[in-house]
Amino acid sequence: MDYSIAPGWKWIANKEAVSLFKKLDIKPHHKMLLLSDGSLTRFLEALNQSTVYVEIKEHGVHKIKKQEAAYLEIAGGEEAIVRDVWLIQNKKKLVYAHSVFPLAGLDKHFLDNISTSIEPLGKNLTDRGLLTFKDKLEICAVCCSYVNKALNLEPETILWAKHYRLSAKAQDGFNQRLSLSGEKDITASIIEIFSSELAGRPPRI
């Protein structure tokens, strides 16, 4: 997924983002959406009282980029499953999500089944008996021409984005289905770009 960071912005860690948001005129439910480490799908379904669907736009195996490897705290050059999807609700594209799943030490067939599912990622993992949590959350304002075109926005439109590391840990008795060694957990890097209808637009800073 290609995007550029808006002028004056950078990826801002969660605690710093909380302080920044106090200074900015941002609606409370937008703050909750951007800063929460909870389930995005559950948030959307509670907010709009309707089911969230997934539309897969890209799925394949690629080499992990150096910057992404550093973020995930793994060796560079490893292979990963890359999945790009739209989260759709009431026939509206609300969130574009880019996921990178490192393959090292894990069952590719298992990961492939997860990444090609038409269910939201978090729900898919928890339904398979995995405990999930997020960390390294950061917020930014970005421009993505593909997303803007899909949302019928001007090419230079700036939108909110969230980046976090998603970990899925096997519960007792599930380890052999999870990995080849029975020891390693699933880890993924997720970037979500939010439609302005859902999260508003970032201010210029």
| CA angle in degrees (0–180, nearest 5) for 70-125-3 | 40
For residues 122 and 102, give the distance between their C-alpha atoms in angstroms, rounded to a whole number.
Answer: 17
> Which band of pLDDT confidence, cut at 50, 70 and 90, is reported for residue 92?
very high
Nearest to 77 by CA among 98, 99, 57, 104: 104
Residue 112, pLDDT score: 76
Q: Which residues contact 83 (CB under 8 A, 6 or more apart)?
A: 56, 58, 59, 98, 99, 101, 115, 116, 121
Considering the chain, what is the average pLDDT of its residues?
A: 87
* Residue 101 · residue 186 · CB < 8 Å: yes
Regarding pTM above 0.85, the answer is: yes
Is residue 203 predicted with pLDDT exceeding 80?
A: yes
Q: What is the pLDDT of residues 35-87, one digit of tens each?
A: 998 889 889 999 889 999 999 999 888 999 888 999 999 888 888 989 999 99
Is residue 178 predicted with pLDDT exceeding 50?
A: no
Q: How far is the CA of 38 from the CAs of 134, 159, 181, in angstroms? A: 8, 21, 29
Torsions phi, psi for 49 (to 5 deg): 55, 45
For residues 126 and 132, give the distance between their C-alpha atoms in angstroms, rounded to a whole number.
Answer: 7
Which has the higher per-residue pLDDT, 191 or 176? 191
Q: Domain 4-199 carries which CATH code?
A: 3.40.1410.10
